[in-house]
Chains A and B, each alone.
Chain A
Amino acid sequence: MSEAKETKGAAQTKAKAKPKRPKIPRQPMPEQDAHKRAKNFESVTLGYSEEQAVTEATRCIQCKKPFCIGGCPVSIDIPGFIQLVKDKEFLKAAQLVKETNLLPAVCGRVCPQEDQCEKLCVLSKKQDPVAIGRLERFVADYEAAHGEVPLPELPPKTGKKVAVIGAGPGGLTVAGDLIKEGHDVTIFEALHKAGGVLVYGIPEFRLPKAIVDREVDYLTRLGVELKLNYVIGKIRTIDQLMKEDGYDAVFIGSGAGLPWFMDIPGENLNGVFSANEYLTRNNLMKSFDFPNYDTPIKRFKNVAVIGGGNVAMDSVRTALRLGADNAYILYRRGRAEMPARKEEIDHAEHEGVQFKNLAAPVRILGNEDGWVTGLECLEMELGEPDSSGRRRPVPKKGSEFVLPMDAVIVAIGTSANPLIGQTTPDLKLNKWGYVEVENEETCRTSKKGVFAGGDIVTGAATVILAMGAGRNAAKQIQEYLETGSWWTPNGNA
């Protein structure tokens, strides 16, 4: 090759070569100091500053085929909103997110992004993924602080009525989507406050209730009717709603709030709580804020929480904040098997929670006044692999030990309250008591005009999955109201 051609080629190569993108580390989330926050109910994480948000947004490489969207149960336009953050158009970013996600301030705080959108982020192959959840929270909080959230113009009324049972994330999503179609929507909520698990289950330090109040207020300003202290299955049944009260469709979003217990001796002693009760008394009834609220809870000094999920983490961290000297997690399996989010486990550990893995309670001990005094436990070890190759925990012989305790909180799972099933005879349930649906896309139950989604269908799961189900159900309800077409095993009705 001639010298001239070599030089030209080299120059062309140099011109084509893009400058290497500087490696920007994932922006850390500012947090309250662990020891300080273990004594208060204020938010653990403090949110990104504008500068951090823009820097983090710069990390996004705006993939031509963004895998992250597929990881989001409500399909937020993730690259789209992140680009707007990078351009400092924070309000527009919030509005873009809200096109598909009614509750971004909630999801940005509680979604397990590490298992969803961030897991699929291309960056995660060689470095930390883009902090999509933190950016979602940033834009939602920015809008709340700076923007006037405009009410959309609603179409003319259709004359159709939809009943939504449960004001949790699934129900709120259905209501929000269908009110915008011009239907009359009524949410029936059993508790005295809307929000479901967002208000009774998740503590203030993870999800400030003012955020939930703001979102519920937005819906009522849109025209959604909210009936509180209204238990469907007691005050009215689903059949009455449809045959007498004129509702054309019903969405069941009543969740899975019935607690499971261990069935071991001593479980009926004073000082034994289900996690549901403990958290509800604290989160919804504000037991931590006595005497401003008249529903205090006894201050226990040694508290054991049985379980390894997010509810267990919330319970044990609440116990610390209520003044426990020792707060334990007792979990029969290893640390790697704990289904709680890693972030929550880490936060709990930093705050001083003591983890006892491969340990199971066998008896709760009490005094003659009927109060808990101790917890007898067994160490567990992994048994031989079963036919699937899985090694399950089995008790270690002779390994009994007793922990002094004055409260035990059982956080081993929940199931559906049987009330709706009991009062709706033609509603098919599965053996675990959950409502059967055709599939999670159509959300259609065995009863014409009745749809279901969220924990009442799947069992206890996440906020965002309930919202995704709500989104699907709303689309299906809209189609049903427009066409009257319904599924049967043999074809449409």
Chain B
Amino acid sequence: MSFATFQDIVKYAVEKETEAVQFYTEASGHEQYAAARETFLAFAEEEKKHKALFEKFDPAAIANYQFTNIADLKRSDYMVEAKYKPGMAYPDILRLAMKREENAKKFYDDCVRLAAKEEQKKLFQMLSQEEAKHKLALETLYDDEMAKSGD
């Protein structure tokens, strides 16, 4: 992969979101139960929104983008890597999704450090922030449920 230009980076990010949509959509097809199918399809929809957002990124978007500090609960950060298995229970599906967002965010954070140009740095920061929002949403869902059961 080449990150030589702004468009290279956007193209890569869109490909990753497309892959994520495919992953969740395929997983939903393996699930016997409606609830699990619907969960994976909901995740696929969220990734589609990300893809649509990233497709609109251009250098002007950086100037208008609101950079904020997104809270990080780090619930997934200490968990082992999750692998998809058909019939996974809902908490495991959440962990799988959380881990995917965590890995995506880490990747873009690494890119921020390695980027030579300011414009590229800012773009990677935008992408990282978007992944951070997804991670927070999933971890909040997970944390709420775990709090009820004594975790």
What residues of chain A have their CB less than 8 Å away from a CB belonging to chain B?
258, 260, 262-265, 306-312, 331-333, 337-340, 360, 362-363, 378, 383-384, 386, 392-395, 411-415, 418, 421-422, 428-433, 459-460
Contacts of B74 in A (CB 8 A): 394-395
Partner of A309, one of B32, B77, B150: B150
Given contacts A263-B82, A339-B148, A412-B146, contact A418 B140 (CB under 8 A): no
Partner of A262, one of B79, B82, B90, B145: B79
Is there a chain A Cβ closer than 8 Å to B78's Cβ?
Answer: yes
Partner of A311, one of B34, B82, B95, B150: B150
Q: Mark B60-102, 1 if CB is under 8 A from A, else 0.
A: 0000000000011110011110100001011100010000000
Task: Identify the 6 closest CB pairs spanning chains A and B, nearest first.
Answer: A413-B149, A309-B150, A412-B151, A431-B35, A362-B78, A263-B79
Is there a chain A Cβ closer than 8 Å to B110's Cβ?
Answer: no
- Point out which of B77, B82, B151 has the most chain A C-beta atoms below 10 A from its C-beta: B151
Is there a chain A Cβ closer than 8 Å to B39's Cβ?
Answer: yes
Ordered by A's residue number, 16 sampled pairs between the chains whose C-beta atoms are within 8 Å are: A262-B79, A263-B79, A263-B95, A308-B150, A333-B147, A337-B147, A338-B150, A339-B148, A395-B78, A418-B89, A428-B34, A429-B35, A432-B90, A433-B35, A459-B149, A460-B149
Contacts of B90 in A (CB 8 A): 415, 431-433
Is there a chain A Cβ closer than 8 Å to B55's Cβ?
Answer: no
- A429-B35, A431-B35 are known contacts; what are 10 more A-B pairs with Cβ within 8 Å? A260-B91, A263-B82, A264-B79, A264-B80, A307-B150, A332-B151, A394-B73, A418-B89, A432-B145, A459-B148
Contact A429 B33 (CB under 8 A): yes
Contact A433 B148 (CB under 8 A): no
A362 vs chain B, min Cβ distance (A) = 4
Given contacts A384-B71, A415-B91, A418-B89, contact A312 B82 (CB under 8 A): no
Given contacts A263-B79, A264-B80, contact A411 B73 (CB under 8 A): no
Contact A363 B71 (CB under 8 A): no
A281, B8: Cα distance in complex, Å: 58
- Point out which of B33, B73, B79, B90 has the most chain A C-beta atoms below 10 A from its C-beta: B33
Is there a chain A Cβ closer than 8 Å to B27's Cβ?
Answer: no
Given contacts A432-B90, A433-B90, contact A412 B150 (CB under 8 A): yes
A43, B89: Cα distance in complex, Å: 37
Contacts of A338 in B (CB 8 A): 150
Contacts of B72 in A (CB 8 A): 394
B35 vs chain A, min Cβ distance (A) = 4
A310 vs chain B, min Cβ distance (A) = 8
Contacts of A378 in B (CB 8 A): 78
Is there a chain A Cβ closer than 8 Å to B36's Cβ?
Answer: yes
Identity of the chain A residue whose Cβ is nearest the Cβ of B78 in the assembled complex? A362
Contact A386 B150 (CB under 8 A): no
A402 vs chain B, min Cβ distance (A) = 14
A263, B77: Cα distance in complex, Å: 11
A247, B32: Cα distance in complex, Å: 27
Count how many pairs of residues, one from A and one from B, have CB atoms less than 8 Å apart in the complex: 93
Q: Mark B134-151, 1 if CB is under 8 A from A, else 0.
A: 000000100101111111
**Quick one: which of B34-59 are within 8 Å of A by CB?**
34-36, 38-39
Contact B71 A265 (CB under 8 A): no
A244, B147: Cα distance in complex, Å: 43
Partner of B71, one of A383, A428, A460: A383
Given contacts A263-B82, A264-B79, A415-B91, contact A431 B150 (CB under 8 A): no
Contacts of A264 in B (CB 8 A): 78-80
- Point out which of B36, B87, B95, B143 has the most chain A C-beta atoms below 10 A from its C-beta: B143
- Point out which of B32, B35, B38, B77 has the most chain A C-beta atoms below 10 A from its C-beta: B35
Given contacts A264-B80, A392-B143, A431-B38, contact A421 B33 (CB under 8 A): yes
A276 vs chain B, min Cβ distance (A) = 12
A310, B145: Cα distance in complex, Å: 16
B37 vs chain A, min Cβ distance (A) = 10
Contact A386 B80 (CB under 8 A): no
Contacts of A430 in B (CB 8 A): 35
A306, B145: Cα distance in complex, Å: 16
Identity of the chain A residue whose Cβ is nearest the Cβ of B34 in the assembled complex? A428
Contact A413 B89 (CB under 8 A): no
A181, B102: Cα distance in complex, Å: 57
Contact A411 B143 (CB under 8 A): no
Contacts of B143 in A (CB 8 A): 392
Contact A431 B149 (CB under 8 A): no
Contact B146 A413 (CB under 8 A): yes
A197, B95: Cα distance in complex, Å: 28
Identity of the chain B residue whose Cβ is nearest the Cβ of A338 in the assembled complex? B150
A418, B77: Cα distance in complex, Å: 28
Contact B150 A312 (CB under 8 A): yes
Partner of A386, one of B32, B33, B35, B140: B140
Contact B89 A433 (CB under 8 A): yes
B138 vs chain A, min Cβ distance (A) = 13
Contact A413 B87 (CB under 8 A): no
Contacts of B140 in A (CB 8 A): 386, 392
Contact B33 A414 (CB under 8 A): no
Identity of the chain B residue whose Cβ is nearest the Cβ of A411 in the assembled complex? B150
Contacts of A393 in B (CB 8 A): 73
Contact B150 A413 (CB under 8 A): yes
A398, B33: Cα distance in complex, Å: 42
Contacts of B95 in A (CB 8 A): 263
A311 vs chain B, min Cβ distance (A) = 7
Contacts of A339 in B (CB 8 A): 147-150
A280, B73: Cα distance in complex, Å: 33
A331, B82: Cα distance in complex, Å: 24
